[in-house]
Amino acid sequence: MSTLSPSITSRLPDVGTTIFTTMSALAVQHQAVNLGQGFPDFGCDPALTAAVTQAMQQGHNQYPPMAGVAALREAVAHKIHTLYGHAYDAVTEITITAGATQALLTAILAATQPGDEVIVLDPCYDSYVPAIQMAGATAVRVPLTPGSFRPDFARIAAAITVRTRMLVINSPHNPSGTVWTEAEMLQLQELLAPTNVLLLSDEVYEHMVFDGKPHLSASRYPALAARSFVVSSFGKTFHVTGWKVGTVAAPAALMAEFRKIHQFNVFTVNTPMQVGLAQYLQNPQPYVQLPAFYQAKRDAFRAGLAKTRLKPMDCSGTYFQTVDISAVSTQSEAAFCEWLTQEIGVAAIPTSAFYGDGFDQGMVRFCFAKQEQTLQQALERLQKL
């Protein structure tokens, strides 16, 4: 009797191995310093792991409430109100998610229908468009201004149609490290005011804004908050990306629809980490001090890059530094990153990987969320260019 393995029709036929997987594998093969993938190579605060361990030992190991542990939702609501001035109801307007990527997917599934359009600003994080496709909606890519990565409001306005259901923004921005200004947030609020367009604001790097500037969350602006899902990440903030715990804040009516999807794709998020995070958040200093922590790394990395022929671009936030490679190479960004990994021993990510059409402007991205010795080793190699 023959064995039949039925085929399936892919929901994501154009999705293959990600650039992050490819470059990380190449880095391992050539023993390169991996400044490609965006995660720290250092540990978190021992007080945080102690809080989670204590939660486990105290028996917090069964299902939590679907929307998240009450104490954690209250801590998140308090943090948002303190930092941004918007009062979210912890009971009806805050949900704990299995990382920010799940929050983004769930918001898109909850808010869009087949035939809807969702505007994304290229270059963008690689989960946005597949999430839109899985929802049966259509992604409409609008490029940020080449080089500066600033929003082009004329192009955004031109892309809005009667089918536009949502706009996705990301500030601080991955991959460029740029941060939206007050004028830009106000212009966005004015642009969306007469429309029924929802806003999905990806703010996972909210605590990595430099040079004494505040993070301009969508929740700061009443007319934006009223139409927004605001997403953040404990993994990014507390150096625990592998924990996959995020948050979403939204008005109660939007959150009710979000939770309908949330309860059937993950239901809830692991209990001891939620309990531990709730305790840890009682002290705001770890996230209040985070901008200075990462700015020191940024400044040291940029000082080292100044001794190379790579040109550092603006980095007002995140833990990513984009550089112009035009003085070093005429290769494509992707070919340069492969060469850099193989011959120089430093892995980076081409910014073209974040564009739907592979737009190549001669820029690559490094991650500086690394130990001092890791960054120093990478800089010594880059200074040979």
Distance, in Å, from the CA atom of 363 to the CA atom of 108, rounded to the nearest integer, reads 30
Residue range 365-374: average pLDDT? 98
Q: Residue 16 pLDDT more than 90?
A: no
Strands laid side by side in the 320-324 sheet = 311-312, 320-324, 363-367, 349-350
Mean pLDDT in residue range 300-326: 97
pTM listed for this prediction = 0.96
Structure token pair of residue 181: 């200004």
The CATH class of 19-38+289-382 is alpha beta
Domain ranges of the chain: 19-38+289-382, 47-283
Domain 47-283: top CATH class: alpha beta
Which has the higher per-residue pLDDT, 241 or 1? 241
Region 332-350: mean pLDDT is 97
Helices (H), the chain: 19-29, 46-57, 70-84, 100-111, 128-134, 153-159, 182-192, 222-225, 234-237, 252-265, 271-280, 285-288, 290-305, 333-339, 372-382
- The per-residue pLDDT for range 152-163, each reduced to its tens digit, is 999 999 999 999
**What is the length of the chain?**
385
Judge whether 257 and 111 are in contact, CB under 8 Å: yes
- pLDDT, mean of residues 329-343: 96
Q: Is the pLDDT of residue 253 over 90?
A: yes
Rounded mean pLDDT, 54-74 = 98
What percent of the chain has a predicted confidence (pLDDT) above 70? 100
CA-to-CA distance for 191 and 357, rounded, in angstroms?
A: 26
Q: Tens digits of per-residue pLDDT, 192-246?
A: 999 999 999 999 999 999 999 999 999 999 999 999 999 999 999 999 999 999 9
Assign residue 227 a region (left: φ > 0; alpha: ψ between -120 and 50; beta: otherwise): alpha
Q: What is the pLDDT of residue 99?
A: 97
Number of other CB atoms surrounding residue 188 within 10 Å: 22
CA distance 263 to 370: 36
Instruction: Share the mean pLDDT of the chain.
Output: 96
Q: Name, in order, each residue with C-beta under 8 angstroms of 161's C-beta and a sequence gap of 6 or more.
A: 117
SS3 (DSSP) at 121: strand
